[in-house]
Structure 1
Amino acid sequence: MSLNTPKEVFITCAVTGSGASHNKSKHVPRSPKEIAESAIDAAKAGAAVVHCHVRDPITGEPARDPSLYREVTERIRDSETDVVINLTAGMGGDIVFGPATSPLPLKDGTDMVSAEERMEHILECHPEICTLDCGTMNFSEDVMANTPAILRAMAKIATENDVKIEIEAFDTGHLWFAKKLVDEGFISKPVLLQLCMGIPWGAPDDINTLMAMVNNIPENWIFSTFSIGRNQMPYVAAAVLTGGNVRVGLEDNIYLEKGVLATNAQLVEKAKSIIKNMGSSIMNPSQVREKLSLTKK
């Protein structure tokens, strides 16, 4: 494969996520105010898109309360900082089994709800983008459950309400099913894809596996890719080399360098430097909206 370095690249900042990183770094935002402020700082540093989860403001545990999402989106919009808001729709699909000797009944932490409930905050907040995790997988020691029926229903809700879907593919089968959703008309064009690499136990983040994923992306799709932990910044370069866009942020990695905790803005700045040194320019939110056929909200 020849190098396919794009002239222009956009950066998505994944602001906080739903993992236990809030117990490892003081910079991981918890409250809606902290999440919004961190997203705004990331946008000012050069992120055209901010991808937001929400957390319980007291405990830091992952949440899906629509009022928390509403406060985050309102704070970002009220700041008049131009950035494309991308809200997760991944919550509400978690299954925690018991031990191998007695997997049932399901354990605390299970949160499996309807497609409509998973999309409630999307309908309330009306972001420009929401994510769609296009498959079921072992997610660390638990299960991330997304049945074909639920995914079709969620995609239909997003598309009918003019919210661009960002497909999240954690493995090759997810990409395969995403193509089917597009063919069936559940996902509108231009198609936006995120390759999520190195998350246990989806696709590993070695270059051969990344290229297997990239080589199966339809020619007219727009994609980004990322990995986690120490491979976050190498994947900035990998994304650009394979013709994609970039994602960084505290959802995926909390370190700027070994032993140095990062802020979201610092991770964006570092990614921006890598991209520019590779000869690509950084797209602003207006350019991303034009590329993805988005209407500013």
Structure 2
Amino acid sequence: MRRVRYESTGGPLFLEEVPVPEPGPGELLVRCAAVGVTLPVVRKVTEAAEPIPLGGEIAGEVVAVGAGVTRFRAGDRVTGLCFGHGYADFAPLHEAMASPVPDGASAVDAVALVRSGLVALGALHAARPEPGEAALVTAAASGVGHLAVQLARARGASRVVGAVSDAAKADFVRGLGADETAVYGDDSWGDPVDYALDAVGGELLTPAIAALAPGGRLVAYSSGGGTIEAYDLLVGGKSVIGFQMARIARGKPELYEQWRQELWRLFAQGAVKPAVHGEFALEDAAGAHEVIESRRNLGKVVLRP
């Protein structure tokens, strides 16, 4: 089978031929029909000290199961987060990370919706939104952000502001249901909001805090770091909440499953529609990474083995 690998930090991605893996205990072997490309994986390729397996969201058909697997069998359609080599024709997927893909949804729908949607829904949950509140979503055109815009509306936001890196993304974000858009670097992001979901971090934390109304909440779920001045929180009684999806998946599996079911229900109702920026062949994984690195994507970037 084919899989994508690289040999040194920042090094080129290339295809190699390797044997099809055997599923280990508790694992499914999935024939990959779609693989989601994420910013954390792209960053690891350019920043990690040692090469890592290119994992991430996968969706496809189960072709074999390992010892102890009870929930799935060969022929089932599944999606989930692969921690091994996921940029491949076949990939191992732990049963605990797998969920069924319902009829009427494609593999591309699954990788565009589930993992990114879980992060967006989890960040929204952490913000404790009340119906009628105003919301701000940064990176609003990204794989996670474009779902967060829709989910905030579905959870009763009276006004949604989408912040983006480029004004050229404004029409896309408004098409998702955002009432207003703001561009990083603008002097003002409009009227204050009650909560903000931030996927960017770094220098963007300061304007995101400034956009909050008194008592507002910022949910930080970015791996981009950054520093917040305590005084900026003190003067308006504002707060910052950190959110990490892995903590929920490991520590609260019942809540994780509840969110997955909610995403598929909203998808079936048409309340949430994942957008796909582009579908790339496995041999063009570098091109998919370049789209993410340059922040040009409008929605999810997907590999199609």
User: TM (normalized to structure 1)?
Assistant: 0.32
More strand, by proportion: 2
> RCO (CA 8 Å, sep 6+): is it higher in 1 or 2?
1
Q: Which of the pair has more CA radius of gyration?
A: 2
